[in-house]
Structure 1
Amino acid sequence: MSPWMLLGVMAAAGLATYLIRLSFIAVEGKVRLPAWFRTALQFVPAAMLSALIAPDLLMRDGQLAIGLDNARLIAGVVAIVIAARTRSIGWTIAGGMATLLVLETLI
């Protein structure tokens, strides 16, 4: 792929993203969204985060890896427990990363 084609694809993707985001900002206050749609929008961040994280925790080398030899899965579970207990982003990240580093060293 030539550098100019790559630049064009990046510019088109950036413009598309900008227009999609602008559409929600532009209609704010002008269009009344249905209650079911507003309720569904509350779950979008959690669904997106889950969709980004779950494959990294559950897959290794293209295969489903659910077991004690999967350090990322164990560290993810530890991070979930820490998050549920402390409600602290900092402790969740620190605990999950510390667990991952220890397990990666051991496994």
Structure 2
Amino acid sequence: MSEFTLWGLFIAVALGTFALRFSFIGLHGRLHLPPTLKRALVYVPASVLAALVLPAVSLSGPEQSFALDNLRIPAAAVAALIAWKSHNTLLTILAGMGTLWALQTLI
């Protein structure tokens, strides 16, 4: 690939990224979404967070397979329980990391 083609690709990707992000910021308030779509978009942040966290918690080791001896799974369960009961982000992080460190130390 030539240097000119590579720079053209960089510029095209940058413009595409800018256009995608600007469409949400620049058109905010001007674009009217149907109520059904608005209700569905409420769940996007939670689903994106789950899609990011679940593989990091459940897949361990270089082979990237699900293992029952993965200590991150019980630590995540404790963190989820704390989050559900307390609704406190800092307490959830501390409980999850504390549980993981305690399990790693004990086992």
Q: TM class, shorter-chain normalised?
A: 0.7 to 0.9
Q: Distance in 1 between matches of 2:17 and 2:72?
A: 31
Q: Distance in 1 between matches of 2:25 and 2:53?
A: 28
Q: How many residues align?
A: 104
2:86 is matched with: 86
For structure 1, which segment, 93-102 or 11-20, has the greater mean C-alpha deviation from structure 2 after superposition?
Answer: 11-20
2:3 is matched with: none
Residue 13 of structure 1 and its aligned partner are, at CA, apart by 4.7
Deviation per CA, 1:44-80: give whole Å up to 9, x if none.
1000000000011111131112x2x211111100000
Alignment of 1:43-58 (within 5 A): 43-58=43-58
Supply the AA of the counterpart residue of 1:17.
T
Structure-2-length-normalised TM-score: 0.80
2:101 is matched with: 101
Alignment of 1:1-107 (within 5 A): 13-60=13-60, 61-65=63-67, 67=68, 69-107=69-107
Residue 19 of structure 1 and its aligned partner are, at CA, apart by 2.1
Q: Which ranges in structure 2 are unaligned for 5 or more consecutive residues?
A: 1-5
Change (3 A) 1:14 1:87: farther
RMSD over aligned CA atoms reads: 2.6
Point out 4+ residue stretches in structure 1 off by more than 4 angstroms.
7-15
Q: Which ranges in structure 1 are unaligned for 5 or more consecutive residues?
A: none
Q: Which has the larger radius of gyration?
A: 2
SS for the counterpart of 1:23 is: helix
SS for the counterpart of 2:18 is: helix
Matched-pair identity in % = 39
Change (3 A) 1:95 1:24: same
Supply the AA of the counterpart residue of 1:44.
V
Supply the AA of the counterpart residue of 2:40.
A
Q: Distance in 1 between matches of 2:106 and 2:8?
A: 46
